[in-house]
Structure formats: structure tokens, C-alpha cells
Amino acid sequence: MSIQQAAVLGFGQTRYKTSRIDVGTPELVYEAVSRALADADVELGEIDAVVFASAPEVFEGVYEPEHWCIDAFGGVGKPLLRVHTGGATGGSAALAAARLITAGIYDTVLVVGLQRTSETADAQAVFTTIFDPIYEQHVQLNVITGIALVASRQMEFFGLTEDHMAWVSAKNFANARRNPFAHLQLDVTEQDVKESRSLAHPLRLLHCCPRSDGAAAVVMTSSEKARHRSHAAIVKGLGCAADVYRIGDRIHDDESDFAIPRALAWAAAEAYKDAGITNPRSELDVVEVYAPFANLEIAYYESLGLAPRGRGIELVETGATAMDGDIPFVPSGGCMASNPIGATGLVRFGEAALQVMGRAGDHQVDGARLALATACGGIDQFYTAAVLAARSS
């Protein structure tokens, strides 16, 4: 990486719900930003620039919502950029802020993530427009049916079963109960998951994320400036990669299969290289992945280099990714328990920072010093990856 690194000073988030009818959109932003500034012990006047993460804006029903919300994050007078890479938006925004800092363009950057899907009368109508309008839109593929296709391929490719997916769901919902901000606070057994309503075979209701309203904010600065702060997480590595759009082009070639997202592997490899990680399974202490469906988390075990080809399910079978396993995944409950889409990647990034700062509360992984956060956009198409480290790592 470059001469100086970026560091996280503070993280704030709102409670996530299907509809945060108790507050307006700017108030939702204010809730997260004020918590992040307090957590970072930073005044608004110390913020040099703002990166806003919100997408697609059709969900809010407001064109350029960052302007509407500007008083809620103190952006008047400051440089402001809005990042939009679909579901990966929050991860991309953190990456953009880190680059602005490491390049020396701005010293201290506030990253704000917002999503208010409840403003949309029919979120699926919005999602349908992400597809190619000439050849594919009329097929009415949606995110759930698209990921169901992935799950079907995973069953064939590496032996994914309903038991594997049920274990991941039950694990993540149990983790979410330790996180006071999580949207779904469910007491769910593996049997409950297997008996939940079928949405698109093989996906069931409890394999899938909710739609959440919510906001998150992160305060970042240079590692030099972070040296004298009471707490900070260092951004050790960053990666980002995009795959081709058409699912058919990703079904199979010599290097990969549709079952295992190769773009995540590319992004993670870049982040590991930056961070000097050569054996992620033994070096990472905790992982906050953006996995809105249970089957995707299992595929990510392999993409992230934590399991050999076709063997990601062994991390389920051995319980390695449980809170008491050797590499806990999404101790916050993750995307399956709360999914404010444009902000979700930033929540993963903030949660990873909390872990290595030892400030994750009841879902803290003991002794966590090196964490990975990811974000995903499109139908398994764009990925970001960030490695965060405790200050003395």
C-alpha cells in the first residue's frame, strides 16, 4: 500500500427495522452520524470531507439524497461525494474514504451510509430494473430467484445441503441476538429454518435477509493522526473487483464456477496482499461478510481462501465459523439479520473495526486483532474487501 494508512476512529449505527417510521430520513442519518462522531471523539469541524453511501436512490425516492440530508451530517461547506456500486456501496464508500486519506487529499473523512427501502412501495419493482432491459427484464428474475440459481449450482458443485444452510442461518440469528442494533432478533433452530416457507427452491424464508431501514457512519483519518487516540482500527488492506454481468458467462470456466464467486476471491487476494496476509485461515481472527443469503456465506469460505476448492462446507460441518469456532463469521448477525442495502457494506466495515478495537460489546470475539470485512453488489458481481487490524498489529 502507500506510505500512510487510513484508520477508523469511530463507528455509529441506528437500530434497523423494516420501517423506521419514528424518524425522517435526515433524522435517521443524524442518529448514526452523531453516534459515530461521539464514538470517535471528533467534532464536525474536524471533518474535511464526506463520502455518502446510498443506493439505489430510487429506494429513497429522492434524487441526490445526500443534498437533502446534508444538515444531518454537517456537510455544508465540505467536499461531498456519493458512491454507488449497488449492494457494495457501503464497502466502496469506505474504500473511497481510505484512498482519499492515503493519497493525502483529505485528513479526516466521514463516511455515511443510508438506506430507507420502506419508502418504496414495491422494492422488487426497483430490483427488476437492474437487469438488462432488452433480453432479461421480462424474465422477472429477482435477487431471490437469482441466488436460488446459485444455491442449486452449489448443491451440484460442492454438495451444499439444506442442513448446511440451516446451520448458517441459525448461527447468524443467534449472533444477532447479542447485537442490540440487529433488525431480526429471532430465536431460531435449524429445524425452524428447514420448516420455514419456501421462496425459490432451495431457498427458504429463513435463509434470506430482511429489507431494513437504517443508517451507519464511520469516521476515518490517517494512521498518523490516529496514533494518539484512545482507540483506532488500522486499514491494512483493501481490494475491489467486478465480474462480468451475465450470469451465464460465469457458470463455468477453467478457473472458476458460478457456485463460488471469483470476484470476491480477486478482491480478497488484493486486500490480503496489501495486509501481508499469506494464510487467512490462521491469521484472520474474525470475518464480517456481506452475505444476505445463507448459501452465499458458505461459498465465501472458499472464495476468501479459508477452505480448499469445494470444501467450504467443512467449515460448517466442523463449526469453525461459529462464535466459539476458530474463525467466527458475522458475530453481529450480519446481513441476514439486518440489510439496509446501501449502508450494509459500511456496517460490515464498522463492525470489523469494532472487533479489532475490542469494542463490539456482547458480540465481541475474544482477542480479535485482525478482521476482514466484505461487501457485495449485483447478483454476486461486485465485491469489496477490507482488512482491519488492531493498532499494534
Partner 1 sequence: MHVNIAGSSSLAPRPDIPMALDEMIYTATSHALADAGLSINDISGSFMAASDLYDGRAISTMTLTGSTGSFHKNEMRVCNDSLAALMLAAAEIAAGAAEAVIVCTWSKLSDAHRDSILPLALEPVYTRGLNFHPGAILSLRTSGETGQLTTVQPTRIEPCDVAAALIVTAPVAAYRARGSLIGLGAATGRYLHPGEPVLAPVSRAASSALKAAGRSPTEVSRLHLAGLHQISDAEIAAAVGIPEDQTIRPEWRWADQGYAAGLNAVHGALMGEDSGLALVVSGGGLALEAAYAAVVEIA
Identify any residues that bridge with 198 across adjacent strands, giving them in sequence order. Answer: 204
Q: What are phi and psi of 275, to 5 degrees?
A: -85, -5
In the bound complex, what is the minimum distance in angstroms from residue 318's beta carbon to partner 1?
32
Task: Mark 354-393 with x for binding to partner 1 (rule: CB under 8 A) and - for no binding.
Answer: -----------------------xx--xx-----------
In the bound complex, what is the minimum distance in angstroms from residue 165's beta carbon to partner 1?
26
- Site membership for partner 1, residue 132 (CB under 8 A): yes
Cβ neighbour number for residue 195 with a 10 Å cutoff:
12
In the bound complex, what is the minimum distance in angstroms from residue 175's beta carbon to partner 1?
29
Which of 76, 197, 228, 230 touches partner 1 by CB under 8 A? 76
Give the whole-angstrom CA distance, residue 351 versus residue 243.
26
Burial class (CB in 10 A: 0-12, 13-18, 19+), 391: middle
Cell of 239: 481490494
In the bound complex, what is the minimum distance in angstroms from residue 196's beta carbon to partner 1?
28
Task: Mark 235-274 with x for binding to partner 1 (rule: CB under 8 A) and - for no binding.
Answer: ---x-xxxxxx-----------------x--x--------
CB of 99 or CB of 281, closer to partner 1: 99
- Site membership for partner 1, residue 198 (CB under 8 A): no
Give the whole-angstrom CA distance, residue 160 versus residue 158.
6
Cβ neighbour number for residue 143 with a 10 Å cutoff:
21
- Select from 98-106, 195-203, 281-289, 351-359 the region that touches partner 1 (CB under 8 A): 98-106
CB of 169 or CB of 223, closer to partner 1: 223
Contact positions with partner 1 (CB under 8 A) in 19-38:
24
In the bound complex, what is the minimum distance in angstroms from residue 204's beta carbon to partner 1?
26
Contact positions with partner 1 (CB under 8 A) in 280-339:
none
Give the whole-angstrom CA distance, residue 308 versus residue 281.
11
3-state secondary structure (DSSP) of residue 178: coil
In the bound complex, what is the minimum distance in angstroms from residue 366's beta carbon to partner 1?
33
DSSP 8-state secondary structure symbol assigned to residue 208: B
Number of residues that bind partner 1 (CB under 8 A): 59
DSSP string, 6-73: EEEEEEEEPPPBS--TTS-HHHHHHHHHHHHHHHHT--GGG--EEEEE---GGGTT-SSHHHHTGGGT
- Site membership for partner 1, residue 126 (CB under 8 A): yes
Nearest to 291 by CA among 150, 110, 97: 150
- Site membership for partner 1, residue 141 (CB under 8 A): no
- Select from 166-174, 234-242, 281-289, 292-300 the region that touches partner 1 (CB under 8 A): 234-242
- Site membership for partner 1, residue 102 (CB under 8 A): yes
CB 209 within 8 A of CB 244: no
Handedness of CA 306, 311, 313, 316 (dihedral sign): negative
In the bound complex, what is the minimum distance in angstroms from residue 267's beta carbon to partner 1?
9
What is the torsion angle, in degrees rounded to the nearest 10, for the CA atoms of residue 171, residue 172, residue 173 and residue 176? 120
Contact positions with partner 1 (CB under 8 A) in 33-72:
49-50, 55-58, 61-64, 67-68, 70-71
Which residues contact partner 1 by CB under 8 A? Answer: 1-3, 24, 49-50, 55-58, 61-64, 67-68, 70-71, 75-86, 92, 95-96, 99-100, 102-105, 126-127, 129-133, 238, 240-245, 263, 266, 377-378, 381-382
